[in-house]
Structure 1
Amino acid sequence: MDTPEIHLLSAGSALPGPAVDNAALARRFKMEPLWEQWVDAFIGTRSRHLAVDLETGVIGHTLADLGTAAARVALERAALRAGDIDLLVMATSTPDALMPATVNVVADRLGIDQVPSYQLQSGCSGAVQALDLARQILLNGRHRTALVIGGDVVAPFYDVNADLRKLPPAELVNFVLFGDGAGAAVLSVDPAPGSAALRSVFTRLVGLGRAPGATLEWYGPVERPGKGPAAAEDYKAIEELVPVMSQDVLHELLDDLGWRGEDVDYVLPPQLSGRMTTQIFERLGLAGQQVSCVAETGNIGNGVVFFQLERALGRIGPKERAVGISIESSKWIKAGFALEGV
């Protein structure tokens, strides 16, 4: 018996509030004008959206807020109602609480009940892990339509009173690299106009013996002062390893599907920063169009892939092909997926 196809019907996204550009950050944190130029030149991210108000420190959006909003957009675009969903999967590294799981708060707000629900705790690659889990469950034949959500809110770790002039680079970069947001996608065993077949998905832990490239503690800097940084990035290790891992993922996807590089029409590269994303895309050496969001949204963790999918679905025509790559630096995970218009 032929293996059924799993189709990506739609994708949606949600961002908190207006964009915060580098000039606004420089003003708020009293950084010298050259700092803004440094961010533009070496990070390449022009703006991001934040769930925390920079002036008051008040958090105005939760992950559940953003996940619910993104899910509603995806459902509307798929012409489906909450009652049509019989499987729910969410990926995040920043849940609103340890319990209840944010995925179940979102389900309640959407009116979804009596279905399996899963929440994956992971960094950027959790989005692909969520797609993979949903796809595998749909392939067993007992469920037909899945809502997959990914997102992160870094507000609990964003100290608006920090003196950025005194921070080491591993902590400073987090203030300009990341943003908040959530995305969602609808997967189904049934195709629909404008859908794309999910031809391949894989994730693989490759961190044996490697030091973590990123850490995120359960506490925020305001809640537990003196305990070390709540969030830190080994940006040098990330710059060195992520481009190489991205090439590995691309070659594995192409080999698995029997595709050639020239067969790829759209490329969804890792969205680390504007500068690194461009470097990775150029290193991949593909002629396909780049589908990117990070320069405007910042690195939104588990939301990134869904923002890219939202942009890609509007472009992929019949028989056109797309590949997506996600690399997680926390303990080093390689992940990728491939789409084909139907």
Structure 2
Amino acid sequence: MNVYSRITGTGSYLPEKVLSNQDLEKMVETSDQWIQERTGIRKRHIAEAEQTTCDLAEQAARRALEAAGKTPEDLDLIIVATTTPDKIFPSTACLLQQRLGNHGCPAFDIQAVCTGFVYAMDVANKFIRTGAARTALVVGAETLSRIVDWTDRGTCILFGDGSGAVVLEASEEPGILSTHLHADGAYEELLHVPGGVSRGFEVAVETGADPRFMQMKGNEVFKMAVNTLGRIVDETLAANQMKKSDIDWLVPHQANIRIIKATARKLSMDMDNVVVTVHEHGNTSAASVPLALDTAVRDGRIKRGETLLLEAFGGGFTWGSILLKY
């Protein structure tokens, strides 16, 4: 008997504080029209000073557990995808486990930046397919506002905070059909935070930029993302001997509306079948795919039995996709 992993519950959370494009106009030289035309973003949510990534993760996790009809004690595995952990250690997954009141199941973080949730889903899927777990909680959560330079108009317009989560359970019915993960560290400096534990957070960087904050070469990242996501669409369809028309919904990483539209064109897919939430929260890195998924599940767009393609591209570079029956 084949064992599959199926999504049985979704949840998400956005901090209450909103930073609109109009607010940004007062902070840097930009405009609402310019931001919307180039990114599709209207606003982003910002965690309060006392709110941590774990706080956001807990909210999304509890909503996903409730939707799945599960308690924290039912969990055999907890994975948190984040690039903005609460502490250097222990992992945010361990902190979340403590909050939820689960004791004993494996809990760990995955760091693949914007592709983190896709990576985490792949790992959880393999735990379930091999019998190592029956019920897994997978969370993508970020407080990117902590690593954004709010004087850099090239990056500060793009990013926000948020979280999304799913509960995966073992099932005899097909759920996740295939996963495809990739990385290429050769492009490290196109999108990165220069500082770190080993290199030091206060070291002077050759460019003179603050090592605590994200740096991005936007045009190069955009081109790589469009080309790479186009290839992974082909790879995913070929691996499953599927046609473009077999996909009911595209649930993409919410980074930029132009990248999303380019991927939709690759699938010959009408934008009505693409879940777009980037206008509501900007790029929330590992949180963006589960945020979009939960939004479309809860508003009734995505229905049981439909075929979904999830995909993401992030710093590293990392990229990946998941094909699943919801």
- TM above 0.5, yes or no, is yes
The letter for the 1-side match of 2:311 is I
Note if 1:292 corresponds to 2:276.
yes
The residue aligned with 1:39 is 35
Deviates more, 1:43-52 or 1:311-320: 311-320
The residue aligned with 1:246 is 229
The residue aligned with 1:214 is 191
Query: Does the 8 Å contact 1:67/1:106 carry over to 2?
Result: yes
1:196: how far off?
A: 7.5
Query: Which whole-Å deviations, capped at 9, do the CAs of 1:61-110 have from their partners, x for residues lacking one?
Result: 10010001110000000011111111111111111110121111111000
The residue aligned with 2:70 is 80
Q: Using the alignment, how far apart are the partners of 1:312 and 1:254 within structure 2?
A: 22
Note if 1:205 corresponds to 2:189.
no
1:219: how far off?
A: 6.0
The letter for the 1-side match of 2:44 is R
The residue aligned with 1:20 is 19
Q: Using the alignment, how far apart are the partners of 2:56 and 2:68 within structure 1?
A: 19
The letter for the 1-side match of 2:47 is A
Q: Using the alignment, how far apart are the partners of 1:158 and 1:327 within structure 2?
A: 19
TM-score for the superposition, normalised by structure 2: 0.89
The residue aligned with 1:278 is 261
1:197: how far off?
A: 1.2
The residue aligned with 1:156 is 146
Q: Using the alignment, how far apart are the partners of 2:188 and 2:132 within structure 1?
A: 40
Note if 1:11 corresponds to 2:10.
yes
Q: Using the alignment, how far apart are the partners of 1:319 and 1:83 within structure 2?
A: 28
Query: Which whole-Å deviations, capped at 9, do the CAs of 1:141-196 have from their partners, x for residues lacking one?
Result: 1321000111110232245xx5x3xxxxxx422211000011111000037xxx98
Indicate the RMSD between aligned Cα atoms, in angstroms.
2.3
The letter for the 1-side match of 2:189 is P
2:136 pairs with one of 146, 149, 158 = 146
Deviates more, 1:312-321 or 1:172-181: 312-321
1:321 pairs with one of 293, 307, 321 = 307
Q: Using the alignment, how far apart are the partners of 1:79 and 1:153 within structure 2?
A: 28
Query: Does the 8 Å contact 1:9/1:196 carry over to 2?
Result: no
Q: Using the alignment, how far apart are the partners of 2:82 and 2:246 within structure 1?
A: 32
Query: Which whole-Å deviations, capped at 9, do the CAs of 1:281-301 have from their partners, x for residues lacking one?
Result: 234422470012111111000
Moved over 6 A (4+): none
Query: Does the 8 Å contact 1:45/1:275 carry over to 2?
Result: no
Deviates more, 1:246-255 or 1:196-205: 196-205
The residue aligned with 2:318 is 333
Q: Using the alignment, how far apart are the partners of 1:25 and 1:196 within structure 2?
A: 45
Query: Which whole-Å deviations, capped at 9, do the CAs of 1:263-293 have from their partners, x for residues lacking one?
Result: 1111112321234323332344224700121
The letter for the 2-side match of 1:322 is L
Correspondences of 1:33-182 after superposition (within 5 Å) = 35-52=31-48, 59-158=49-148, 164=151, 171-182=152-163
Note if 1:309 corresponds to 2:273.
no
Unaligned runs of 5+ in 1: 53-58, 165-170
Query: Does the 8 Å contact 1:183/1:306 carry over to 2?
Result: yes
The letter for the 2-side match of 1:214 is L
Distance 1:4 1:337, change over 3 A: same
1:258: how far off?
A: 1.4
Distance 1:95 1:331, change over 3 A: same
Q: Using the alignment, how far apart are the partners of 2:74 and 2:236 within structure 1?
A: 31
Query: Does the 8 Å contact 1:243/1:283 carry over to 2?
Result: no
How many equivalent pairs are there?
315
Unaligned runs of 5+ in 2: none
The letter for the 2-side match of 1:216 is V
The letter for the 2-side match of 1:20 is L
1:17: how far off?
A: 1.3
Query: Does the 8 Å contact 1:267/1:289 carry over to 2?
Result: yes
The letter for the 2-side match of 1:199 is L
Note if 1:183 corresponds to 2:164.
yes
Distance 1:86 1:43, change over 3 A: same
